[in-house]
Amino acid sequence: MTQAAVGTQAHISVDEVSKHFGDGGDAVHAFGPTSFEIEAGAFVSLLGPSGCGKSTLLLMIAGLLPVTEGTIHVGGERVRHVRTDVGIMFQDSTLVPWRSVRGNVELQLELRGLSPIIFRERIDELLASVGLADFAHRRPYELSGGMQQRAAFCQAFVHSPPTLLLDEPLGKLDAMTRERIRADLQEQWRRTRPTVLLVTHSIEEAVQLSGKVCLITPRPGRLHGIIDIDLPWPRDAEVKKSPEFVRYVNEIGDIFRGYGVI
Amino acid sequence: MQMGRPVIARFGRLATFPIFLALLILFWERSIDWFSIPRYILQRPSDIVINSAADIPRLAEYTMVTASETLLGFVAALAAGVPLGLAIVTSQLLRRTLYPLCVSLEMVPKIAFAPIFIAWLGFGLLPKIIVVFLVCFFPVVLNAIAGFSSLSEELTRFSATTGASAWRNFWRLRLPAALPQCFVGFKFAAVNATVGATIAEFIGSDRGLGFYIQIQTGNMRPDLAFAAIFVLTLLGLALFGAVTLAERAIIPWDIAQRRIRGRS
């Protein structure tokens, strides 16, 4: 277990950040204070039980929620407003039913004032890489939940953001679909190495996908520690069967058992 | 004949209601004789058709009158209600003032205003249009408010991370997301519209199908009153049908989505 090394090129740095909802006596202490750093190109999971404030932290990093105390920097710049240099995915997809899969990917570009025509090949390539080439003209409601989230991934990633913020994107999918999309997600990350921040409550998912796992304690969430996952890439079925993988999963499980959340 | 079976089954499903309706009308036709109902109380459907045919010019003229009142009031309610709904969602001041006012006025039976408008504005077209407007306006505005506030938290946040201007956000997300709920309001309004026009005419008028029903009932001519009721029904159906067709043309994706969700 290590603290994030200070001095390396930190892409995201969270400094003494805490969040309260409401004020005065009714204020709810939702998160923090917590500090950590994430270097550029890392795949990092925020792992914790539900209600620990890990999604709140993600929203604060995106600038979608203001911090109560502390500061957050992304790419060397202090977060004060919503950041537009990110791609974001939620548990419920951000696909709209009045557009096709392709149209939904183009929505990201259109909202940014970019021309979808220039991105034509990029969109084709991205859809093909997640196996949606033949479904580009289908509407979201004609697709399975897993295909919808793959389309949502293309939507979140089409503009090649340096940072991907994923808020339990696989939370509503069945186990088999989740497995498939994890592999897709890993491949996409390995190809272009954006900084990825994944909020999850699945220990296995965090260990499989991440270089670092931030363990967030039960409410009010604080950083318990950061675990470096030293396993070979790609983290396929073989790696998941390895004793090292199982050891990481058990180590993290023991920590949460200590908090009484498992 | 294996190919024929689904066709027959489909025909059977579609034909059930028309056959039922035909039997009901036949029962009405025969029951006038069976129960010796006097003709000033109720007449046979066949007599209604024959007798009203003689009065077609007047019925046609009055249909135009009532149809104009209905359509003008309905369109005015849409034209005012949707922008007002959007304004209430957008402005905090309006949300604290006009929104509670709209909700309170929704509780008032709008028809109760009809005599007052007729006293103020006379027997002409305008007070009827205002009454139709009133009965249509509140469902339109309240559903527009619900529609324009219906964009999910996820989509709102997603849109924020794109840095989209309010204008772009409106045309590409907020407006299309609002349309299904807006159409719910339009359909309510379409059903209410002919009711408003008819009752406004009952209260004070010298023309229109509502006026005609009152006069013919007074004349002990239920056959002609029924003819006018039939025409009013067609009028309401036509308006509702037009809204449904517009819905299909404008938001086919919502209908397809509802169908798929309904199946699963």
Q: What is the pLDDT of residues A123-151, one digit of tens each?
A: 999 999 999 999 999 999 999 999 999 99
DSSP secondary structure letter of residue A5? P
Residues of A in contact with B168 (CB under 8 A): 110-111, 113
Look at residue B48 in the predicted model and tell me its pLDDT.
93
**φ, ψ for residue B134, nearest 5 deg:** -65, -45
What was the pLDDT predicted at A10? Answer: 75
- Nearest-CA distance A156 → chain B (Å): 9
A34: helix, coil or strand?
strand
The two tokens of residue B7 are 């066709």
pTM exceeds cut of 0.90: no
Tell me: ipTM over 0.95.
Answer: no
pLDDT tens-digit readout, B211-227: 999 999 999 999 999 99
- How far is it, in rounded angstroms, from Cα B173 to Cα B168? 8
Cβ pair A173, A146 in contact under 8 A: yes
Beta carbon pairs, A and B, within 8 Å: 64
Map residue B62 onto helix, strand or coil. Answer: helix
Per-residue confidence (pLDDT) for residue B13, from 0 to 100: 83
3-state DSSP assignment of residue A3: coil
| Predicted pLDDT at A7 | 43
Q: Is A59 on the interface with B (CB under 8 A)?
A: yes
- Strand spans (E) along chain A: 10-21, 28-39, 43-47, 69-74, 77-78, 86-89, 163-167, 195-200, 212-216, 223-228
Return d(Cα A75, Cα A70) in angstroms, integer.
Answer: 17
Q: What is the pLDDT of residues A15-63, one digit of tens each?
A: 999 999 888 778 888 887 999 999 999 999 999 998 888 999 999 999 9
Burial class (CB in 10 A: 0-12, 13-18, 19+), A180: middle
pLDDT of B3 reads 56
Contact yes or no for A85/A192 (Cβ under 8 A): no
Which residue of B158, B159, B169, B170 is the best one to mutate when testing the A interface, meaning the one whose CB has the most A CBs within 10 A? B158
Q: H/E element holding A257?
A: helix A243-258
Q: What is the pLDDT of residue B66?
A: 97
- From the list A83, A92, A111, the residue facing B159 with the nearest CB is A111
* pLDDT score of B90: 92
The region, left, alpha or beta by phi > 0 then psi within -120 to 50, assigned to residue A193 is: left
Name which of A62, A92, A108 is nearest B152 (Cβ-Cβ): A92
Give the number of other CB atoms < 10 A from CB of residue B202: 15
SS3 label, residue A212:
strand
DSSP-derived secondary structure letter, A84: S
Q: Which residues of B touch A83 (CB under 8 A)?
A: 161
Distance from CA of A63 to the nearest CA of B (A): 9
Note the pLDDT of residue A9. Answer: 67
Separation of first and last alpha carbons in chain A:
21
Checking phi first, is residue B117 left (phi over 0); if not, alpha (psi -120 to 50) or beta?
alpha
* Distance, CA of B259 to CA of B42 (rounded, Å): 43
Question: Which residues have C-beta within 8 Å of that of residue A46, sequence separation ≥ 6?
Answer: A54, A57, A58, A197, A198, A199, A200, A214, A216
Smallest CA-to-CA distance from A44 within A194, A254, A154 is with: A194
Q: Could you tell me which of A171, A129, A124, A134 has the C-alpha nearest to residue A150?
A: A129
pLDDT recorded at residue B5: 73
Cβ A166 vs Cβ A89: under 8 Å: yes
- Dmax over CA atoms of chain A, in Å, equals 56
Predicted pLDDT at B235: 96
Please give the Cα distance from A112 to B163 (Å, whole number): 6
With beta carbons under 8 A apart, name residues in chain A contacting B169. Answer: 111
Cβ contact, residue pair A90, B172, below 8 Å: no
Distances A102 to A30, A120, A160, B10, B126 between C-alpha atoms, Å: 38, 10, 16, 37, 50
Tokens of B182: 């807006």
Q: Residue A15: beta bridge partners?
A: A71
How far is residue B210's CA from residue B195's CA, in Å, rounded to a whole number?
A: 9
Cross-chain residue pair B158–A110, CB shorter than 8 Å: no
The closest CB to that of A111, out of B154, B162, B253, belongs to B162
Count Cβ neighbours within 10 Å for each residue of A19-36 and write b for 16 or more, e otherwise.
bbeeeeeeeeebbbbbbb
Reading chain B (264 residues) residue by residue, the pLDDT tens digits are: 455 677 888 888 888 999 999 999 999 999 999 999 998 889 999 999 999 999 999 999 999 999 999 999 999 999 999 999 999 999 999 999 999 999 998 888 988 888 898 889 888 899 999 999 999 999 999 999 999 999 999 999 999 999 999 999 999 999 999 999 999 999 999 999 999 999 999 998 899 999 999 999 999 999 999 999 999 999 999 999 999 999 999 999 999 999 888 766
Distance (Å, rounded) from C-alpha A121 to C-alpha A131? 15
Dihedral sign computed on CA atoms, order B80, B86, B90, B92: positive
List chain A residues with pLDDT less than 50. Answer: 1-7
